[in-house]
Amino acid sequence: MAKKFHTVIVGGGCLGIASALSIARKIKKNGGDPSSVCLVEKMVLGGGLTARHSGIVRVANADSDAAQLAKISSDMWLNIENIWDAELEADRHGAIWIAKKNENNGNTKWDLLEQQLKSSNIRFNSISYDKARDLLPGFINISQGETFYHEPDALQYDPAEVRRALYEAVRRSQITLEEKTEVLSFRRSSSGKLTEIVTSKNVLKCDHIINAAGAWSPAIFAKVGLSIPVSVEPVYVVNWLTSLAEKKVTMPIIADYVNRAYFRSWRDGEIHMHQPRKRAVQETSTAFAENPLAVLGADFINDPSNQAIGYSQNRVYEDIAKQRFGNIKQTIFSSGYRSFFDITPDLRFILGPDPKIPNLIHCLGSGQAFKYAPAFGEMMSEFVFEGGKLSDLGKNFSIDRFNSDFMENFWKRVSGAEYSLETEGASL
């Protein structure tokens, strides 16, 4: 007979785990059984995109809704031991943002961001060359032609430690964990609710479903007629080995917008780097259009045979790293991989109830979601139960916004309406 759960969470990445933990905690607080929350993961916990993040929690964000959520989440990370009942230590060396100076010796966008963030109590300040020199180890090259901003509260975690802590938290919470169990399809009641989940191992009945399957969501929920606009944008990561004599040097995260790369110190004497997500609407829409595998993209890139880094990509990263790091004369490749960011058409999250399926709630990232995990977990619990401040903020990210007008305009941006199939067809 099918097992009956209060809530089933599809996807055991950081967002699915955080959702399961928050909902189970709420159920327990109300005198219920935390094992009535079931977390279903087709691979192993944290084996999707969550196995690939850089462990960085930065709050400064040009999108003020996202910045507010990131601030709440960052404060929660510092108290994670109490929230998740799992030990996890943060490195607190802050972040330095670097850009080319404009004619006014600053950066127009970031000066504005500084003002905007001040009103949200987020520390992000323009600093002088001398101050930046003080905050950065001597082997990092900076120049007077660059401008610097300091985000002192940025945190860094060791992703391997995060994964251990997540497992520990799930074990202690008494959540029902179904690893290596793939959600295959759903059965709906006459009211339209998804009441049964057919997996590769069993059938699960439930009252609520959280979709935390990230880039896999479009394929899973297409089976119930939903179109979830998520695609994948490939990204490469390289870790360079440096001298262990420098191991004790602490280093802020470097958000290098001159070379378009993020750097952080990594494990034992490594410099970890990857390039940021593309942000222009044109590029985002192209990623959707050029990726005929959008639906299968996550599985495709996640396949072990597709994760290797090519020679030319390595050389590009080597050139960038050598420009910023004076101590890299000869590169020593330690490890690297290809992964992806999950992206939505407007690069904002998809959060909250689905307008078409009454008991389905979405919890999807958009590229940078690790840092939001504790806050999104609580938000999902609020959506399932009585609501609150986080679910109110989450309403700004409803999937409802991707209506047909939005999507039509989005597609027109791929290469301009004049090149669309529709126009070409009309000219035949």
Ligand X SMILES: Cc1cc2nc3c(=O)[nH]c(=O)nc-3n(C[C@H](O)[C@H](O)[C@H](O)COP(=O)(O)OP(=O)(O)OC[C@H]3O[C@@H](n4cnc5c(N)ncnc54)[C@H](O)[C@@H]3O)c2cc1C
User: Which residues bind to ligand X, rule: CB under 6 A?
Assistant: 10-16, 40-43, 47-50, 52-56, 182-183, 212-214, 216, 220, 235, 237, 274, 339-341, 365, 367-371
> Which residue has its beta carbon closest to ligand X?
13
Task: State the greatest distance between any 2 C-alpha atoms of the chain, in Å, as a whole number.
Answer: 71
Q: For residues 132 and 148, is the Cβ–Cβ distance under 8 A?
A: yes
Q: In whole angstroms, give the CA distance from residue 11 to residue 210.
A: 9
CB of 103 to ligand X, least distance (A): 33
Cβ burial, residue 330 (10 Å; 0-12/13-18/19+):
exposed
Distances (CA, A) of 217 to 25, 101, 359: 25, 41, 16
Q: In whole angstroms, give the CA distance from residue 135 to residue 129.
A: 10
Distances (CA, A) of 365 to 3, 14, 173, 214, 383: 29, 10, 24, 6, 17
CB of 7 to ligand X, least distance (A): 15
CB of 412 to ligand X, least distance (A): 28
Three-state SS letters, 267-316: CCCEEEEECCCCCCHHHHHHHHHHCCCCCCHHHHHHCHHHCCCCHHHHHH
Give 110 or 157: the residue with its C-beta nearer to ligand X: 157
What is the sign, positive or negative, of the torsion defined by CA atoms of 69, 52, 398, 405? positive
Q: In whole angstroms, give the CA distance from residue 169 to residue 84.
A: 6
Cα 144 off chain centre by: 33
Q: In whole angstroms, give the CA distance from residue 385 to residue 383.
A: 6
Give 183 or 390: the residue with its C-beta nearer to ligand X: 183
Give 107 or 181: the residue with its C-beta nearer to ligand X: 181
SS3 call for 187? strand
Give the strand order in the sheet containing 253-256. Answer: 125-127, 146-151, 95-100, 253-256, 261-266, 270-274, 231-241, 333-343
CB of 305 to ligand X, least distance (A): 17
CB of 317 to ligand X, least distance (A): 12
Give 275 or 420: the residue with its C-beta nearer to ligand X: 275
What is the sign, positive or negative, of the torsion defined by CA atoms of 415, 367, 211, 296? positive
CB of 52 to ligand X, least distance (A): 4
CB of 280 to ligand X, least distance (A): 19
CB of 375 to ligand X, least distance (A): 11
- The tally of CA atoms less than 13 A away on the side-chain side of residue 210 is 38
Residue whose tokens read 């007979």? 1
Give 55 or 394: the residue with its C-beta nearer to ligand X: 55
Give 289 or 309: the residue with its C-beta nearer to ligand X: 309
CB of 10 to ligand X, least distance (A): 5
Give 182 or 196: the residue with its C-beta nearer to ligand X: 182
Give 147 or 153: the residue with its C-beta nearer to ligand X: 153
Give 313 or 420: the residue with its C-beta nearer to ligand X: 313
